[in-house]
């Protein structure tokens, strides 16, 4: 029998190479656009990315996000934004974008030596 | 998400050996792989299969219990069951969302499920003829799912691990409502107690099968564990589940239908009898009591509601931002 793994949450399922993974264009075009969802957990906190969903427009994306991501009072405010409207930095961990801050250790308080006897600093 | 990237690197992209090295280093350091990281094709495909089929299981998993929504005996039980079934829909959507970060597509995955090209857990091909089945599914089936899912909160793929954290928080309610339902019935009439025992008899072995074939028949487990996708073997998780469940069965006052079930003081584990893997293979291959019905219902949900998708799309186009 084909490879079966239990790591499908609710039970063992085939995960061998016979299971197709490539999407077909026909199905993709039929679906609503993808939105990324950000939730403010409570007053005083930033909005945090929690996942995504498909919705036909902004208003229904908010309603769907409420039902999907805040069923147990997880939020007091929701942002939704179409995934295609997000611009991101390169995912590479060695991205030169972040290089300028890499060698500036003097921006951290621990860079400076202060004698033990000096109070409140 | 597949956001466009600002490419400021002057040197062009690193070669595959370097990328593989960075990937291996991330896994070795037990850090998470994130959606737009380079990853080996085998890792991506394994994850798409696993996450998609996990999602399918949640979505199909609404059906066996959904049948009891109108028949549950009180408003309280109806409200609880409705919340639970709604959670299963939510879990399915968290997981489709995670699968989409790997380049999969929700509508396409649904098509593959309906066409039988991707599977869902065989546990949902068993019928739910009695209300006690709702309780036993919560206790045993969701209990087994928790055993599987808790280690997945540390899965090496970030979006999958984060989806699992949300899911696990909610599964705890599922298991407890099931157990409480059974306790209530066990305090009831002889007929109710018999109903609980009958449901336990029917669900115990399929629940043990949820963990998959024994380790010596799972040749790819090693690769999945090396990638940090899988954290424990099938047999380890099954043993953990049995050890957790036996005392719960005793507290409930039901008998688990296994004459070989016995405490082994040396190992500190409950030993259990042989599992009928023939039945498992039969149900997985499509010959379970409910396979055809489950898929037919999912197909009807997609096809009968297609007009809603189209109407909402048409409305959105008409009111598009910036449109006159």
Domains, chain A, ordered by start: 29-91 (3.10.20.520)
pLDDT of residue B133: 97
Segment among A9-13, B129-133, B149-153 with least mean pLDDT: A9-13
Residue A54 bridge partners (DSSP)? A34
Q: Is the pLDDT of residue B148 over 80?
A: yes
The chain-wide mean pLDDT, for chain B, equals: 91
Q: Which residue of A has its CA nearest to B98?
A: A51
What are the backbone angles phi and psi of residue A52, rounded to the nearest 5°?
Answer: -140, 170
The chain-wide mean pLDDT, for chain A, equals: 85
Q: Is the pLDDT of residue B139 over 90?
A: yes
CB atoms within 10 A of CB B153: 17
Q: Which residue of B has its CA nearest to A81?
A: B1
Q: How far apart are CA A100 and CA B63, in angstroms?
A: 55
pLDDT of residue B324: 46
CB-based contact, B2 to chain A, within 8 Å? yes
Confidence of residue A7 (pLDDT cuts 50, 70, 90): low
pLDDT digits (tens, 9 = 90+) for B96-124: 999 999 999 999 999 999 999 998 998 99
CB-based contact, B218 to chain A, within 8 Å? yes
Comparing CA positions, the residue from A21, A19, A8 lying closest to residue B121 is A8
- Residue to mutate among A21, A35, A100, with most B CBs inside 10 A, is A21
Q: How far apart are CA B95 and CA B93, in angstroms?
A: 5
User: For the residues of chain A, what is the DSSP string, one character each?
Assistant: ---EESTTTTS-EE-STTS--PPPHHHHHHSPPEEEEEEE-STTS-EEEEEEEE-SSHHHHHHHHHHHH-TTS--SEEEEEEGGG--B----TT-GGGHHHHT-GGGSGGGS---TT----
Residues of B with Cβ-Cβ distance to A4 under 8 angstroms: 212-213, 218, 284
CB-based contact, B168 to chain A, within 8 Å? no
Q: How many CB pairs under 8 A join A and B?
A: 218
Residues 6+ apart with CB under 8 A from B184: none
Confidence of residue A18 (pLDDT cuts 50, 70, 90): confident
Residue A39 bridge partners (DSSP)? A48, A78
Could you give the 3-state DSSP secondary structure of residue B264? strand
Q: Is the pLDDT of residue B218 over 90?
A: no
Q: How far apart are CA B54 and CA B94, in angstroms?
A: 10
Residue B5 bridge partners (DSSP)? A88
pLDDT of residue B206: 95
pLDDT: is A90 or A53 the higher one? A53
Q: Is the pLDDT of residue A31 over 90?
A: no
pLDDT of residue B283: 86
Residue B244: C-alpha distances to residues A14, A45, B234 (Å): 26, 38, 16
pLDDT of residue B52: 94
Residues of B with Cβ-Cβ distance to A1 under 8 angstroms: 213, 281, 284
B172 phi-psi bin (left φ>0, alpha ψ -120 to 50, beta other): alpha
Residues 6+ apart with CB under 8 A from A20: B112, B117, B118
Q: How far apart are CA B231 and CA B153, in angstroms?
A: 10
Percent of chain B with pLDDT strictly greater than 90? 79
* Mean pLDDT on B167-177: 93
pLDDT of residue B10: 47
Is the separation of the CB atoms in A87 and B4 below 8 Å?
Answer: yes
Which burial class, exposed, middle or buried, applies to B268 when counting CB atoms under 10 A from its CB (0-12, 13-18, 19+)? exposed
Comparing CA positions, the residue from B206, B238, B234 lying closest to residue B220 is B234
Q: Which residue of A has its CA nearest to B50?
A: A8
* Mean pLDDT on A18-27: 74
Q: A6, B211: Cβ pair inside 8 Å?
A: yes
* Mean pLDDT on B128-153: 95
Helix axes B41-60, B291-304, angle to 10 degrees: 90
Instruction: Give the DSSP H/E element, type plus range, for residue B246.
Output: helix B234-252
Q: A71, B90: Cβ pair inside 8 Å?
A: yes
Q: Which residue of A has its CA nearest to B107?
A: A27
Q: Which of residues 234-253 of B touch A (CB under 8 A)?
A: 234, 237
Q: Which residue of B has its CA nearest to A29?
A: B107
Q: B312, A60: Cβ pair inside 8 Å?
A: yes
pLDDT of residue B47: 93
Q: How far apart are CA A25 and CA B16, in angstroms?
A: 28
CB atoms within 10 A of CB B57: 27
pLDDT digits (tens, 9 = 90+) for B1-34: 455 555 554 455 678 898 999 999 999 999 999 9
Name the residue among B9, B14, B120 with its Cβ closest to that of A13: B120
Q: How far apart are CA B1 and CA B3, in angstroms?
A: 6
Q: How far apart are CA B183 and CA B139, in angstroms?
A: 11
pLDDT: is B287 or A64 the higher one? A64
């Amino acid at each position: 029998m084909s490879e079966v793994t239990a790591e499908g949450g609710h039970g063992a399922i085939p995960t061998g190479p016979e299971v197709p993974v490539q999407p077909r264009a026909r199905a993709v075009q039929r679906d609503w656009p993808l939105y990324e969802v950000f939730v403010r957990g409570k007053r005083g906190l930033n909005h945090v990315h929690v996942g995504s969903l498909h919705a036909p427009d902004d208003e229904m994306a908010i309603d769907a996000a409420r039902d999907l991501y805040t069923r147990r009072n997880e939020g007091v405010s929701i942002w939704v934004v179409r995934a295609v409207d997000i611009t991101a930095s390169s995912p590479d961990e060695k991205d030169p974008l972040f290089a300028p801050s890499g060698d500036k250790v003097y921006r951290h308080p621990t860079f400076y030596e202060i004698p033990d006897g000096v109070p409140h600093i | 998400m597949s956001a466009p990237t600002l490419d400021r690197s002057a040197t062009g992209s690193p070669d595959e050996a370097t990328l593989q090295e960075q990937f291996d280093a991330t896994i070795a350091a037990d850090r998470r792989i994130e959606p737009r990281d380079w990853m080996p094709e085998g890792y991506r495909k394994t994850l798409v299969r696993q996450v998609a089929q996990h999602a399918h299981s949640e979505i199909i998993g609404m059906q066996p219990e959904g049948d009891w929504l109108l028949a549950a005996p009180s408003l309280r039980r109806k409200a609880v069951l409705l919340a639970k079934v709604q959670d299963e829909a939510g879990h399915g959507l968290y997981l489709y969302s995670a699968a989409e970060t790997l380049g999969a597509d929700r509508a396409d995955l649904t098509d593959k499920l309906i066409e039988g090209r991707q599977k869902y857990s065989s546990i949902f091909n068993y019928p739910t003829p009695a209300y006690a089945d709702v309780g036993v599914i919560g206790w045993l089936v969701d209990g087994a799912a928790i055993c599987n899912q808790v280690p997945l909160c540390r899965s090496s793929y970030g979006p999958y691990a984060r989806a699992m954290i949300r899911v696990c928080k909610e599964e705890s309610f599922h298991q407890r409502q099931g157990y409480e339902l059974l306790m209530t019935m066990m305090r009831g009439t002889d007929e109710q107690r018999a109903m609980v025992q009958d449901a336990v008899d029917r669900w115990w072995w399929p629940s043990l099968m949820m963990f998959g074939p024994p380790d010596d028949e799972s040749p790819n487990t090693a690769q999945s564990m090396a990638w940090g996708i899988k954290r424990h073997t099938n047999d380890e998780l099954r043993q953990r589940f049995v050890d957790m469940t036996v005392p719960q069965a005793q507290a409930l006052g039901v008998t688990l239908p296994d004459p070989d079930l016995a405490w082994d003081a040396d190992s500190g584990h409950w030993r259990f009898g042989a599992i009928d893997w023939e039945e498992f293979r039969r149900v997985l291959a499509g010959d379970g009591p409910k396979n055809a019905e489950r898929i037919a219902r999912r197909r009807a949900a997609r096809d009968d509601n297609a007009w809603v998708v189209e109407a909402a799309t048409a409305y959105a186009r008409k009111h598009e931002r910036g449109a006159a």
